[in-house]
Structure formats: structure tokens, C-alpha cells
Chain A
Amino acid sequence: MLVEQELIEKARTGDAAAFNQVVLAYRRRILATISRLIGRPEDVEDVAQEVFVRLYYSLDQLRTAEVFEPWLYRLTINASYDYLRRIKRRRESRMADLSEQQVLAADSLAGGKQQRDETEKSRVREFMNALFQHVSEQDRLLLTLKEVEGLSLKELEGIYGIKENALKVRLFRARQRVLKAYQTALANGKL
């Protein structure tokens, strides 16, 4: 825990200063998690704020301060899920929809090493976002938490409240779908 349990108890009772301290302690971690969950840096702060707004209005429903972290993770996952569904509906024209030639052209336009690095990172993110299109938003989040965020099955069990075996099955299936999408992309020369 990044904060004392007493501080969470105080925040639960409506102490604004205590809530402020809890946010200050957790915001970096939440921002980093959301960054990996949604893969779009420009919207990370907005989703993180939504997480903390939900935290503020539901803190009184928390049973004990001990389960605060899994619970905060759950709020983060839910807000990220809502965001992913929203952008799926919007169907914006993004880099992932562009052809490989267009991506390479964008690469070549980028000057300087730092900019090239940033372009390469953006390309990796967009490519993974495209692969993640082949699984549901729920499975994308689960897969990211396990494979990218590095959470253990035990931790995931605590967050989702689902048995380890069921999680393993879901993870295996999601991984297989992403793998298949990757192989298709490889065969089509999109790498």
C-alpha cells in the first residue's frame, strides 16, 4: 500500500484532505497503468481523472481499507473499458488504419533521433492496438494486465473475483486470438 490504512479510512468518511493525499499517492501508478491499458497517451490523464471521480463517489462502499488497491484497480479497469468502448464507437481514422507505406512515409518524415524514437514507439502502440482489435475490450484489458502490466494470476483473481483456472482459460484464448492476428499481419507483410 502506498498510503496508511488510516488515511483511506479518513477519506472514506468524507475527509477531502485525506482524499487529496490518496490521489497524490496513487495518481502516477494509475496513469502508468492506464497508459498501458488504453495505449493512447493523449487520453490517459482524462481517464485517470474519471477513475478518481468514481473513487470519490464510491469510497463509502469500500468494505475495508485492506481491499483498497484491488478495488482501485477495478475502477481503473472499468474506466479504461468504458473509454475503449467509446473510441471503438467513434471509429476515428487512426494510424492503425493506414497502410504500411503511409506509416513508413510518416516515419521518414520524422526528423531527429528523439522524434524517430517517438515515432517508432507510436508505431508499436498502434500495431498492438490493431492486434487488440481482434479480442474483446475485456480480454484486451485482462491480457494487458497479465502480459504487459505483469500482474500475477493471484492478483488478477483478487481484482476480478474469478477463479484462477477460469482466468487461465480466458487468457489462453485471448492470447491465441492475438497470436493469430499477428500471424495474419505477418503473412500480409504488415510488419
Chain B
Amino acid sequence: MDFRPPDMNLWAALPTAVVGATALVTLLLSVLRPAGAARRSISFTLFGLALAAVGCLPAAIFRPGPSFQGMLVLDPAAVLLSLLLLGATAVCVLLASRYLVHDGVDAAEAAVLLTLGCAGMLFMVSAGNLLMVFIGLETMSVALYILAGLAGARDRTSHEAALKYLLLGAFATGFLVYGMAFVYGATGSLDLREIGARIAGGGAAPGFLAVGLALLLIGLGFKVALVPFHMWAPDVYEGAPTTVAAYMAVGVKVAAFMALLRVFNVAAGGAAASWQAAVAWLAVLTMLVGNLVALAQTSLKRLLAYSSIAHAGYLAVGLAAGGAAGAQAVLFYSVAYGFMTLGAFVVLLALERADDKPQLDDLRGLRRRHPLLAAALATFMFALAGIPPLSGFLGKWLLISAAVQAGQVPLAVAAVLCSAIAAFYYLRIVVYSYMREPADDASPVTLAAETRQALAACLIGTLLCSFPFGLWLLSAAGWAAGALR
């Protein structure tokens, strides 16, 4: 039998290879030279992530196409989301160096786990094969199971959150693998482009395909917390260290939505009739439940958890709309959502005290206690609520117009109504921080250097996605969506 070496297009693997190498070198350095390892491993990890971002550029220019026998597809959409994920990881590493270390976690360990989780996410967004989706997802998930339990020595709920995330994550994996088995059975291939070609050519068994897509939707729905499968999210976000919760809310959701986009919108686009209605119903349910339950929350962390559930619903609207317009909306909204949610979590971390989780009342008079933080919080909340010039508005506008273009007017109406509900609790946060008097014993808020840098990064990101600059991102997302296949 003749042996064919794999078609190794190293340009396509460059970003992921750099991220993996960064993790390995950080690990080795921290073991070989323990003195001063914390500071060094953080700065080296940040350097490596920046290098990986630069490593995305050749792919954006040379457009390597599917490589490693179609396993890895670093197309423009993957480059766009890889850049976002690298940025989000860098922000989380920065935050971890301050807050996780405070919880008694070794800085190098946290940085290595965050980086390896990021490698898994990058493999997921550039996966050209169901096997790569699966292994990328598991690399990301295993890293996050551990990260969720990192504060276990100090906080009892951290280990509980890890266990809960693990059990439901593994349960979801069961559905995911079974779904992949049926999709493979229906089409005879694991390669997403071949699957797409067979579905489009009518060579797919419809019964198997429907069962497989339904199971895949359940499996990935758990990961992005779509509504019937969301019950783990608030508890896990609350129990996990806030840095890790932010990483889950942004990284996992963006990576898993890209996988959903590749499997459903692109590969199974020819069989849209079999999944579109289901995704649309899940989207409506997710937006409704997420937003309505968020109204009743007083714990800021739970509120953000339900807000991120609701945003999974908005992203699912783009998925249900389908086509290039839907893909463009999902890509744009993923980037916008990433920055604004990460920013909201950074503010939450800045407000966190050693022994209690921040409540809505802790925001009273934030304008006086720290005007800059209050202004940043207001920006993120306005963006999340979708107030006109900001990124959230552009994203929702794209999603809703994609739904209308696809003829799904009821879905668009539901999205508008749910955004109106959502505006209420986002604006309430702004009202608390601007119009309520601070409590007498309110402590002054001071920001650490790392928090300031992270906040600045999220703020710049949000503003770059907002009106004048956002149009550039909008056309980039449109270009990337057109190149998806």
C-alpha cells in the first residue's frame, strides 16, 4: 500500500500551531525556571497570542483553501473569528493574571489552560470536517471543565460548577457524536464540503440526515445554551471564577456558533427545510426565556448569564435565516457580542469583592465612585441593548433584515419584541449606576492596571464595531460570508 504524506499547507495551520507552541513553551518555562514564572508566563502568552494573530494574516492574503485533506479551512470567516478569539483569550489571560492569581491559582497554569482552550476554539472555527469540530470542541471543553473548578480551594461553588459543566457537557457530547454518526450515515462522509455536495446533489438519505441534524442541534445547543438546553449556564457562570465565566460566555459561544454555521448553514444548506423551522423555534424560545428571566435577576453575574443565553437566541435567528445574509449577520454579531459581553464581565470583575458576588445594588452611585467605569458600563449596556449607533444595534439590524429577507417575518418580529424587553434590564443597570445615590458604606472602586488594559481593549473593540467603523467590519463579514462554502 502506498503512503501519501498529508497535504500540509502550513499557512493554514500557522495560527493554531503558534497558539499550541505558546502553551507548550509557557509550560516548559514555568517548570524549568520557577522564579518569576508568573509574570513571565503571562507576558510570553500575550506575546504568543499576538504572534498567532499576525500568523492569521498570510492566510487572509494567500487564501490557502482547504488543507490537511480538507480538515482545516482557514477561510476569511475563520480568520475573522480567530482574531476575535485570540483577542478574547488575551483579555482573559490578562484578567487571570490579576484575579485568578488572587484566588490562589498558579498564573502559568491558568495561562496554559486558557491558551490550549483557545487552540481548541481555533480548530473549531476553522474545521472542515466533523471530526475536527468534535476534537476541537473537546479540547476546548476539557480545558474549560478544569478552568471552571480552578477557584475550588477558596470557593466551594467552583468545584460544583466544574462538575455540573462536566456532566452536562459530556451528556451533550453523547448527542453530538450520535448526531455526527447519523450525518455520516446519511451522506457517507465526514468532510463538510463533501457532505454539502451530497446533500445538494440529492445523494443524502433524508431520514438519517434529519435525525443526525436534530441530534447535532441538541449537542451544540447545550454548548451555546439554547433554551431547552440552557439550565446549566446560570449556575455554572455563577460558580465558576468570573474570568472563566467571561471566557465561556464569549469563546465557547462564538466557536460553537461558527461550528453550527458551518454544519447547518453551509453544509446542510441544501436540506434547510429539515432544520430551519426547528432552529427558528429554538431561537424564539431562547430569546423569550433568556430575556424574561433576566428581568428578575438581582445578581449581576446571573443577569449576564441570562443575557448571554438571550444573545445565543439572537445568533440563532441569523442561523435560521440561512444564506449568505444570515451568515454575515452571525459573523458580525459574534464579533460585536464578543467585545460587549467581555467588557460587561470586566466591569463585573472590577466590582467584585473577596467574599460576595456583586448585586444590582452594588452599582448604586457608580458614577460618583468611578466615573470612567460607569461610562464604560453604560457603553456596554447600551451596546447589548442595541441602542442605535453602537455595535449591538448594527448586529441586530443585520440579523433582523436577514430574517426578513429569508421570508421569516414572524421570527424578525419576535427578535424585535425581545430586544425591547431586553432594553429594560440593560437600561436599569445604567439607571442604577447613574441615578441612584451610593449607599453610605459604599467602598471606592479602584482599578488594577490589568483591568484598565482589559477594559480599554473591550471598549475599543466595541467602538470599532459601532456605527462609522462598524461598517467596515460589516463589509468584511459580508465578504467572509460570501467565501464560506
Q: Is A bound to B?
A: no
Q: Which residues of A contact B (CB under 8 A)?
A: none
Q: Which residues of B contact A (CB under 8 A)?
A: none
